[in-house]
Chain A
Amino acid sequence: MENGTGLAELYPPLNGSDWLMLNKEQLPSVMRYGIEGDLMVNGIKYTIPMSGIPELSAVEISNITNYILSAWTNKLGGMSFEEVQESLSNSDGNK
């Protein structure tokens, strides 16, 4: 969403997300492969599976990751391209 707030209890926020703060190294992998199973974000349990977008290249994912980490009120630092590739090599961590 435009302001990173997610949507009700369907889609979790990316802005001010405690999950992202603790699991930022997983973000590139989630973007490519999706995520399913229960996801606790800021005290709310999200259960709808979210599909990945496998068409995104590693470079595109790297750019989006670094955008999200510093967008809105997020100050979660940056992620190197090597770290992004490392995350993308792990497709099973999101189930």
Chain B
Amino acid sequence: MRLTIISSILLLSSMFLISCEETKQDKLPYIGQHSYNNGDTILYTIPAFNFINQDSVSVSNASLANHIYVSDFFFTSCPTICPKVKKQMLRLYKKYESDDILRLVSHTLDPKRDTPEVLKKFAGNLKVNTDKWMFLNGDKDEIREMALKYFVAVVEDDEAPGGLDHSGKIVVVDKEGHVRAFAEGTDPDDVTDLMDEIDILIAEYKN
């Protein structure tokens, strides 16, 4: 009897230890299709890019190299998921407003209509500082190609409201250009979990 009690206590405490270990994550995984070369792992990396922002100033992967950034794809006239995703991006903006390590990068999928001028007005109406949250415009095909690199599928579809079908993923990229976390931008709970993951990533750099 005594033995049973002791062993159940041991079992319980070891379960507790295991569950602690599982929840207390100190490093985020590396996401994407990694490649292998002579036994070395080459981590999946967002390829080099060069777009222009809401002030027609060039923004590249190099100019973001000192920052963790969260990325999404949208267009200003999108009637469906974009406003919901933007609301979640705004939550992220507000949470990390004073932490300079984090940037937000929104790419327009409709660069013809969403000129830098339109994007600037959009940012102004959203009441955000564009040093922290930038809105990128570029060649339509290059942006769509880039969306795929962030695991965002884009399909031109005349039947879809607004003419484009795309997913509302919010993707977290570290300073080295590796994808470390993502969330469905239409799901507030998923974005709450993403905040915990971003905190872990920030701690990786600050420790």
Interface size class on chain B is 20 to 34
List, in ascending order, chain B residues with CB within 8 A of A9's CB.
Answer: 124-127
Verify B84–A1 contact, CB threshold 8 A: yes
Other-chain residue from A47, A50, A51, A55 in contact with B125 (beta carbon distance below 8 A): A47
Q: What's the Cα separation between A7 and B83 when bound, in Å?
A: 8
List, in ascending order, chain A residues with CB within 8 A of B126's CB.
Answer: 7-10
Verify B80–A53 contact, CB threshold 8 A: yes
Verify A47–B121 contact, CB threshold 8 A: yes
Q: What's the Cα separation between A36 and B134 when bound, in Å?
A: 25
Verify A11–B77 contact, CB threshold 8 A: no
Question: Is A34 at the interface (CB under 8 A from chain B)?
Answer: yes
Q: What's the Cα separation between A10 and B196 when bound, in Å?
A: 28
Verify A7–B86 contact, CB threshold 8 A: yes
Question: Is B122 at the interface (CB under 8 A from chain A)?
Answer: yes
List, in ascending order, chain B residues with CB within 8 A of A48's CB.
Answer: 76-77, 121-122, 125
- Contacting residues of chain A (1-53) with chain B, CB-CB under 8 angstroms: 1-2, 7-11, 34, 46-53
Among A10, A51, A52, the one with the most B-chain Cβ atoms within 10 Å of its Cβ is A10
13 other contacts beyond A9-B124, A48-B76, with CB at 8 A cut-off? A7-B83, A8-B125, A9-B125, A9-B126, A10-B122, A34-B79, A46-B125, A48-B121, A48-B125, A49-B77, A50-B79, A51-B161, A52-B79
Q: List 15 A-B contacts (CB under 8 A).
A: A2-B188, A7-B87, A9-B124, A10-B86, A10-B122, A10-B125, A34-B79, A46-B125, A47-B121, A48-B122, A51-B78, A51-B79, A53-B79, A53-B80, A55-B161
Interface residues of A (CB under 8 A from B): 1-2, 7-11, 34, 46-55
